[in-house]
Amino acid sequence: MSDVPQGDGWWQASDGKWYPPEQHPGARPPVVPDVRPTPSGTPPPGTWAGAPGPTNPFSFDMKRWSQAERITAAATVVLFISLFLPWFTYSFGFVSVSVDGLWHGWMYLVLLLCLFIVAYLVARAGFHRMPVTLPLPDDQLLLAATGLNAVLTVLAFLFKPGGLGFTGIGWGVGAFLGLIASLAATAPLAVPALKARRK
């Protein structure tokens, strides 16, 4: 209250005194949005409650993975490791040479997809709500990534250096390990999806 206005918004009452804007009879208190999660765990509309922070801390817990995701995670790690093991071997006389799984240039895509799959599953196990929204549901996204890995790995297994008709080149342990791991990573996701389509 003052005998003269103190700034914008001050208003004069019937007693001739000037009052601040917040004391006006028609003034409404400012609305403060409530960004706390609801009891069901879903964020309030219009908020990005999945962002890392106090309401969505990172706490790794493998129990958040389904059985299929656990198999996919383990098999993807094995596939990643296999890329650095001998895939193709060639022996002449007493000398033997080998190349790893990255001999085919497209297998670098498999390497990147393996990193993506593992990072995605770690985020799934670490955050209560994913910090980003992806265009596909979890199962479809993982199926697409592991399926592409499987296709590229099968092609890399079949196309040995020198072509299909070239003799003397054999498969190394990495090729068999990578082939099995790529199929094992895809199978637990693909089988339920195929069953759902038949229904």
pLDDT at 81: 97
For the record, the structure tokens of 27 come out as 């003034």
Each residue's pLDDT tens digit in the chain (199 positions)? 677 777 777 777 777 777 777 777 766 665 555 445 544 444 444 334 455 666 667 888 888 899 999 999 999 999 999 999 999 998 777 778 899 999 999 999 999 999 999 999 998 888 877 777 777 787 889 999 999 999 999 999 999 887 655 567 889 999 999 999 999 999 999 988 888 887 7
How do strand 11-12 and strand 18-19 relate by DSSP bridges?
antiparallel
pLDDT at 12: 76
Buried b (16+ CB within 10 A) or exposed e, 15-31: eeebbeeeeeeeeeeee
For the record, the structure tokens of 44 come out as 């309030």
pLDDT at 19: 76
pLDDT at 52: 64
The 10 Å Cβ neighbour count of residue 62 is: 12
pLDDT at 127: 82
pLDDT at 174: 95
pTM of this structure? 0.68
pLDDT at 115: 97
CA angle at 81 for the pair 75 and 82, rounded to the nearest 5°: 85
What is the distance between the alpha carbons of residues 93 and 139, in angstroms, rounded to a whole number?
50
Q: Which residues contact 176 (CB under 8 A, 6 or more apart)?
A: none
Domain ranges of the chain: 65-198
Contact 80, 111 (CB under 8 A): yes
pLDDT at 16: 75
pLDDT at 54: 66
pLDDT at 45: 44
